Structure 1
Amino acid sequence: MSDDDTSTIPLAGTAGTDDAVAAVKAVSSQVYEFTGVPGKASEPGPGVKACPGRDPEKYFQVYHPWNFAPTSAADNDVAMKHLKEKLSTGGWVLKDEYRDNSPNKNLNLVADNDAKKMSVSIVAYSKDDVPSLAIEVVSGCYQVPEGQTIKHS
Structure 2
Amino acid sequence: MKIRLSACVLALPLTLTTITGCGMTEKDSDATPSAGTSTSRDASDAMEKLSSGIYNMIGVKGKASDSRPFVTECSGKDTKTYFRIFHWWSFYPASAKDLDVAMERLKAELSKHGWKIISYGPDTSKNRNINLTADNDQQKAGVNIVQMAKNDPPKLSLHVVSGCYKVPDGQKVESF
Q: TM-score range by the shorter chain?
A: over 0.9
- Structural RMSD (CA): 1.4
One-letter identity of the residue aligned with 1:64: H
Q: How many residue pairs were aligned? A: 150
1:93 aligns with 2:116: yes
TM-score normalised according to structure 1 size: 0.93
Is 1:66–2:114 an aligned residue pair?
no
Mapped partners of 2:138, 2:88: distance in 1: 21
Q: Secondary structure at the match of 1:108?
A: strand
Structure 1 outlier segments of 4+, above 4 Å: none
- 2:135 & 2:171 partners in 1: Cα distance? 28
Give the strand-richer structure, 1 or 2: 1
Question: What is the alpha-carbon distance in structure 2 between the residues aligned to residue 152 and residue 145 of structure 1?
Answer: 15
The corresponding residue for 2:39 is 16
Deviation at 1:97, TM superposition (A): 0.9
**Does 1:54 find its partner at 2:77?**
yes
Match of 2:175 in 1: 152
Cα deviation 1:16-46 (Å, max 9, x = unaligned): 0111001100110011011110111111200
Task: Quote the offset at 1:4 in angstroms.
Answer: 5.2
Q: Which residue of 2 aligns with 1:81?
A: 104
Percentage of pairs with the same residue:
46
Distance 1:19 1:44 in 2: 17
Unaligned runs of 5+ in 2: 1-26
- Between structures 1 and 2, the one with greater helix share: 2
Question: Is there any run of 5+ residues in structure 1 with no aligned partner, and where?
Answer: none
